Amino acid sequence: MSKKTSTQATDKTLQRHLAAGSSDSHSHRPAGVRKKPNATNGPACRSRRGVKPRKRSMPGTAEHAPASRPGEKQSRHRCCDEPERQFDLDGIDEHILDAAIAQHAADAIEDLQEEPQNAQLEALARRLQQCKMEKGIAKANRDWLDAPFGEWNDNLRHDVHSMSEPHALAICVAMADMLSARDALIMSLVGATNAKIGVKAMLDLAAEPHDPANVIRLYRLLDAAFNDADASPDLERCACGIDMLADMAETVCGRFEVQPLTVAAYGSWWVGSDDALDYARQALCLDEQCTLARIICSAIDQGLRPAWRM
C-alpha cells in the first residue's frame, strides 16, 4: 500500500467494482440513464447542463480550415496521404458563403480571446511550480490550496454554488498539476456521507498523496461508500459541489477544464444524475487519456452504480 498514491486508490476502486459488476450490469442500469456508445471509442462534445459550450474546431477538419478562393488549393491541415483538392465556389449562394466566412472569423476571434486567459493560467501553473521549488512540494501544495479548500468547504456547508474566481483558478491549476487535489474534492463529496470531510483531511491528501495513511483512508472511505447500502449521500451538498465544478470548467479553458469536468462527472454519476455522461464526454473531448473519465463512461454503459442506489 505504501507504493500506491491516492489517485491509484480512486481509479482502482471504481475499476474493481466495474469489473465485479460487469456480469450482471444490465439489470442494474441507473434510472433515466440510456445505454449509449462508449465514449472511449469516440467521445462526442455535448453541452454542459445550463452551459453553452465553446465551439472548438479540430485540426484537420473542414470546419477548422480557412475558406478557399476559386482555383486555390487547400493545403492547411491536409493529411500527407490525402490528395489535394480544389474547391469551385461558383454557383454557391452568396448568403451561405458569407455565413461560412463569418463563422470562421468568429471562431478565430474566440481562439484569440481564449489565448490571454490560457496564458494567465499557465503563468499560475508556473508560479505553483516555483513555490514547490522554494518551499518543498508538500508545504507548497498546502499553502496553495489552504484558502481555496477553505472556501470550497464553506460553500458546501452554506449551499453557495459558485466560488470566487481567484480560488477557482487556484483549484483548477492545482488539479491540472496534481491529481491528488482532484481526489481531495471527490473525497469531500462522496466521503461526506457519515462525516463531513474538513479542510485538514483534504489538505493532507492533496499535499501528501504517497503517505500510506492518506491512501488507506481514501481507499476505505470510497470502498465503504460503494458497498454500504445505507450510505446515502447528502444530495444537496453534492449538487452544490457539482455546480461549483461546472462553474470552474466554464471559467477556465484547455487542459485546466479536464479535471473540474471529471470530478463533476464522478459526482453526477454518484448521485444518479443524467449529466454524468455529458461531463465525462466533455472531459474526454479535451483529453482522451483521462482515465477516470473513461472509467465513468464505462460504469454508466454497464449500469454500475453504488450500493445505495441499488
Identify the CA nearest to 66 among candidates 122, 32, 10, 104. 104
Q: Please tell me the predicted confidence (pLDDT) of residue 236.
A: 92
Q: Please tell me the predicted confidence (pLDDT) of residue 6.
A: 60
Distance from C-alpha of 110 to C-alpha of 215, rounded to nearest angstrom = 42
Tens digits of residue pLDDT in 276-299: 999 999 999 999 999 999 999 999
pTM: 0.68
User: Under a CB-based contact definition with an 8 Å cutoff, are residues 51 and 246 in contact?
Assistant: yes
* The C-alpha cell that represents 184 in the structure block: 481531495
Q: Please tell me the predicted confidence (pLDDT) of residue 196.
A: 62
Identify the CA nearest to 305 among candidates 100, 6, 33. 33
Mean per-residue pLDDT over the chain, rounded: 75
Q: Please tell me the predicted confidence (pLDDT) of residue 55.
A: 35
User: Under a CB-based contact definition with an 8 Å cutoff, are residues 190 and 264 in contact?
Assistant: no
Q: Please tell me the predicted confidence (pLDDT) of residue 42.
A: 39
Assign 3-state DSSP to the chain and report helix, strand, coil percentages, each to 5: 65, 0, 35
* The C-alpha cell that represents 114 in the structure block: 481564449
Distance from C-alpha of 131 to C-alpha of 147, rounded to nearest angstrom = 16
The list of the chain residues with pLDDT below 50 reads 1-3, 21-89, 92, 97
Q: Please tell me the predicted confidence (pLDDT) of residue 58.
A: 34
* The C-alpha cell that represents 118 in the structure block: 490560457
Distance from C-alpha of 166 to C-alpha of 104, rounded to nearest angstrom = 32
Tens digits of residue pLDDT in 80-118: 444 444 444 455 455 554 665 566 556 555 555 556 778
User: Under a CB-based contact definition with an 8 Å cutoff, are residues 170 and 150 in contact?
Assistant: no
